[in-house]
Amino acid sequence: MAPTAVETTAVDSLKARLASAALQEVDLRAFPHFDNTPGIGTEFRAGGLQISDVLIDRAKLAALARLVSERGVVFFREADISPEEQKELVQALGEAGGKPATSKLHVHPLTLPGQVDGDEISIISNKFVFGDKFKQSDGDIRNRRLGKDQWHTDITFENVPSDYASLVIHTLPAVGGDTLWASAYEAYDRLSAPLQTFLEGLTAEHSGESFLRLNAAHGGNPVREPRGAPENVGQDLLATHPVIRTNPVTGWKGLFVNKAFTTRIVELTRPESDALLGFLFEHVSANHDIQVRFRWEENSLAIWDNRSTFHAATADLDGVLREGTRSVSLGERPFFDPSSRSRREDLASKAN
Ligand SMILES: [Fe+2]
């Protein structure tokens, strides 16, 4: 017999209690680790927690999803992890974080057919996707793009963008090529209350135009679709998202506009939008105390929550190859919950 509505509610409540009990079963902070900065980043020390153990343990996966969402980015130093396992990891973290069943792994619009590690692994390289030249960011020192212009959140031009992502740099320069992450929670917390309130009512357009231009310059074949979720279709690579986004795992509010993909705030005039976005991009890049800088070593692994962080590579490689593999899980359609809290507000109330 089908359960009544009351029984269904009771079952759902039990499931929710079990789920939250599982989250509390494992405290990953019991393993040797340190926080890289007060606001963002946690690193597990060598010889302690192994990512191979996390991959086979549902409770540890759930605890890691929570930790990544709280700290923004988590680093492992001895992660002997294959591209296939990278995919399994971010998919499992997304599921532990409660993502929709239709959201899988992202297929980048410019993924070329027959790529060595398959459609769901992006090769991150300082060489062009098409061809063998180094990107301008790593070319002539006098013509390089400014580091502050590299800040972005992955694939926000998708209707359903990313929750968790992981990166391994397998071809390492002897020095250089660090990656920086910044906290979108801290970016929100540092705004004045009137500006926070104003931004909470706004939406912004995100565009993958840079990829379309690159694609057009190299044959102009249709970009890939669908790209890991039924919502991520179409050739225009355009999406509209709230300017302040609630992270469903932590319940915290974060700034969700980024220099690489956000083109305008929908409700404002063009000059107003340009001025406000310019201020917000500067706010992220200029506050180095909301950032963490990570130096890659062999077998280093970074896992971050794309809903609540920004990141940027460091363009200090003089014609030296830097290459790695990235896997990107797709999460939920971004939303703003007016009853959600800021990170600092929530932590302060828990401390009391
Ligand atoms: Fe990225």
Q: 129-167, pLDDT tens digit by residue?
A: 666 666 655 667 777 778 899 999 999 999 999 999 999
C-alpha 42 – ligand 1 centre gap (Å):
19
Give the E-state strand segments of the chain in sequence order.
33-35, 42-44, 73-76, 122-125, 162-171, 179-183, 203-207, 238-242, 244-246, 253-255, 262-265, 291-294, 301-305, 309-313, 323-330
Superfamily of chain region 22-351: Clavaminate synthase-like (3.60.130.10)
Domain boundaries, the chain: 22-351
- pLDDT the model gives residue 18: 46
C-alpha 152 – ligand 1 centre gap (Å):
6
- Active site positions, annotated: 152, 154, 311, 326
Token pair, residue 15, equals 């499931």
Helices (H), 101-179: none
- pLDDT the model gives residue 219: 87
Rounded distance between C-alpha atoms, residue 188 and residue 196, angstroms: 7
Cβ contact 79:44 at 8 Å:
no
C-alpha 117 – ligand 1 centre gap (Å):
18
C-alpha 64 – ligand 1 centre gap (Å):
20
C-alpha 287 – ligand 1 centre gap (Å):
19
Residue in 273, 253, 259, 224 with CA at minimum distance from that of residue 346: 253
- pLDDT the model gives residue 281: 98
C-alpha 280 – ligand 1 centre gap (Å):
19
What confidence tens digit (pLDDT) does each residue in 275-316 have?
A: 999 999 999 999 999 999 999 999 999 999 999 999 999 988
β-strands 323-330, 162-171 pairing: antiparallel
Give the pLDDT of the chain (352 residues) as one tens digit per residue: 333 333 334 434 444 544 554 445 799 999 999 999 999 999 999 899 999 999 999 999 999 999 999 999 999 998 999 999 999 999 999 999 999 999 999 999 998 877 778 899 988 888 866 666 666 556 677 777 788 999 999 999 999 999 999 999 999 888 999 999 999 999 999 999 999 999 999 999 999 999 999 899 888 999 999 999 999 999 999 999 999 999 999 999 999 999 999 999 999 999 999 999 999 999 999 999 999 999 999 999 999 999 999 999 998 888 788 999 999 999 999 999 999 999 999 999 999 8
C-alpha 98 – ligand 1 centre gap (Å):
23
Rounded distance between C-alpha atoms, residue 13 and residue 177, angstroms: 47
DSSP letter (8 states) at residue 47: T
C-alpha 313 – ligand 1 centre gap (Å):
8
- pLDDT the model gives residue 7: 37
Rounded distance between C-alpha atoms, residue 187 and residue 256, angstroms: 10
- pLDDT the model gives residue 102: 98
Residue in 122, 69, 127 with CA at minimum distance from that of residue 97: 69
Q: Is 41 exposed, middle or buried (0-12, 13-18, 19+ CB in 10 A)?
A: buried
- Angle (CA) 271 145 211, round 5°: 75
Cβ contact 72:309 at 8 Å:
yes
